[in-house]
Amino acid sequence: MCRSIVYSFLLILLSLGFCKGQEVEMAYAYFSQGEYEKAAEIYKKLSEDKKYANLIHNEYVATLMKLRDFTSAERFIKQQVSRFGTTLTYQADLAEVYEASGKKDLAAKEFEKIIEQAAGTDNKFFEVYNFFYRNQKLEWIVKLILKDREVSKIPFKYDNVLARTYNVLNQKDKMVEEAMGFGKRQNNPDYVKSAIQDSFVTEEEIKYIEDLLFQKIQNEPNETFYTDLLVWWFAQKGDFPRAFTQARAMDKRLNLGGAKIFELAYQSYISKDYKSAARMYQYIMDEYPDSDLYPYARTWMIKSKEELVKTTFPIEEEAIRDLIAQYQKMIQELGHNIKTSEAMRNMALLQAFYLHDYTEAVSTLETAVNTVHGNPKFRDQCKLDMGDIYLLRDEPWESTLLYMQVEKSQKEDNLGELARLKNAKLQYYTGQFELSRDILDVLKKATSKEISNDAMQLSLLIEDNTGLDTSEVALERFSRADLLIFQNKYQQGLDTLSVLWKDYKSHALADEILWLRANTLLKVNKIEEAIKDLEILVSEFHQDILADDALYLLARVTEENLKDKEKAMSLYRKVLTDYPGSVFSAQSRVRFRELRGDYIN
């Protein structure tokens, strides 16, 4: 009998629980469908049971907020607080209700009280932090962290979290302070770099970062973290003169042997700031003449000067001969060995491209290859150089044979990709556009970004000027002019381009014709004619792909050849304002600052 009664009682309890479970599901279905009145009616009934009140808490509060029934919401949450006083998020929900109903002061007091209770206790901190985060209460996250720091007496606690929060709030000055603090403690400069690289872009913001880093270096002169950051900052902005100033000071102070400056010099070189690169390599030569870096620094110093000569128009034969003499002197002093092999290569290319002494150039390359035994990559680099020399001599079949040999032997290396690119250009020069494009389509996925970009540009040029609806005559004539200029047959190339411009002013090739002609005119010292072509590109083709290239080159010519400082500054400023995403933005900013008279040591 007793057992029967107990069994019956259990069945009743189970059925009641099952019914309430169904009610929870039904209420949630109404809530999900936006039928808040029906949901509220069921939730109100369930809220009277302490066990179910906890389960439905979030949905019931959300339902009442949707209905703007703030009185019922306040009553229910207060009941929950009295039941579960240690659950701080219920108190936070109450503050939310106050805020939504217009009781801002009351809400702020409640949030302050919650922060006081949470600060200093990790589990309570994260409970409240997660509530603020879910509800996008970013200002309150800041107050929570600062209060926790005060209570725990740990001034840098949660600095990476606070940095992210300040960033979202667009409080960049506070963000960068927290980011630098975290980066320094964790020895993680990459964290700081990612935090500031894309966030500080205007002139005022850039100056702010520089001033801040200078101040930190002054306050902690023996701390290299901030100096490293400042060197990186200047370098990624293209301001290599100032980067060198900081790197040189650190090198001397810490006796680093020039290693970091050697790295910075290479960055400067690949960024085409050859003047700064040459200064840095010269510094290594002067300060560390007995180091292992010396022969490499000397080679790259001459190479940097070489690029300066080759990119300063007109190119003077005397300057080329002087560079060759510097290479020869270096090789004579240091001998024929692996450390001078690159110098021999560079010298051979100068002999071929600028003095047209092909026999001597090939002889120099052969000496270089024989010097470096057992180095197939260097041998293949020299093969590519010989291929270029054969192309200069109008022997394209010999060139393509050498390119294909390197492509086969270096197929897993960037050198193999470079060989394919050279072969694609050769096919383009000789009018084999379809074959050239097939090679270029593969190279678009090259591991080298530079090769990939070159492949895409040439492929686009061919694609835009060939096909069923386009005659290939214009591109054939243009590619022949391009080859003539590669071979340094400038006058023949210019004559061809002038006829092309006359015939194809309205053609898709028009801007390419002007761009190639302007650059070639500069090489033969016809500055005024080059400026006219550049000005046409800037004014009539300002939305085309070469517009920023033309504007930057016009600014350089105005600065270096015309010596018109004010006009050059105006043109550099125009690059920054009209083409802020241009690859020339960094150098334009540096050159503008130099002309303005900003301090650059």
* Predicted confidence (pLDDT) per residue in 96-128, tens digit: 888 888 888 988 998 899 899 989 888 999 989
The residue-averaged pLDDT of 471-475 equals 87
Give the model's pLDDT for residue 144. 93
Give residue 293's pLDDT. 94
- What separation, in Å, do the N-terminal and C-terminal C-alpha atoms of the chain show? 103
Prediction pTM value = 0.71
The pLDDT confidence band at residue 20, using thresholds 50, 70 and 90, is low
Instruction: Please give the average per-residue pLDDT across 454-478, as a whole number.
Output: 85
What's the per-residue H, E or C state across 360-385? Answer: HHHHHHHHHHHHCCCCHHHHHHHHHH
How far is 517 from 495, CA to CA, in rounded Å?
9
String of DSSP letters for 332-344: HHH-SSTTTHHHH
Q: What percent of the chain stands above pLDDT 90?
A: 60
Return mean pLDDT, the chain: 88
Q: Which residues contact 435 (CB under 8 A, 6 or more apart)?
A: 427
Instruction: Please provide residue 577's backbone torsions phi and psi, each rounded to the nearest 5 degrees.
Output: -85, -40
Residue 569 amino acid letter: M
Residue 540, pLDDT > 50, answer: yes
Asked whether the predicted pLDDT for residue 4 surpasses 50, the reply is: no
pLDDT of residue 514: 96
Burial of 210 (0-12, 13-18, 19+ CB in 10 A): middle
Closest CA to 68 of 42, 37, 46: 37
pLDDT tens digit sequence for 344-400: 999 999 999 999 999 999 999 999 999 887 789 999 999 999 999 999 999 999 999
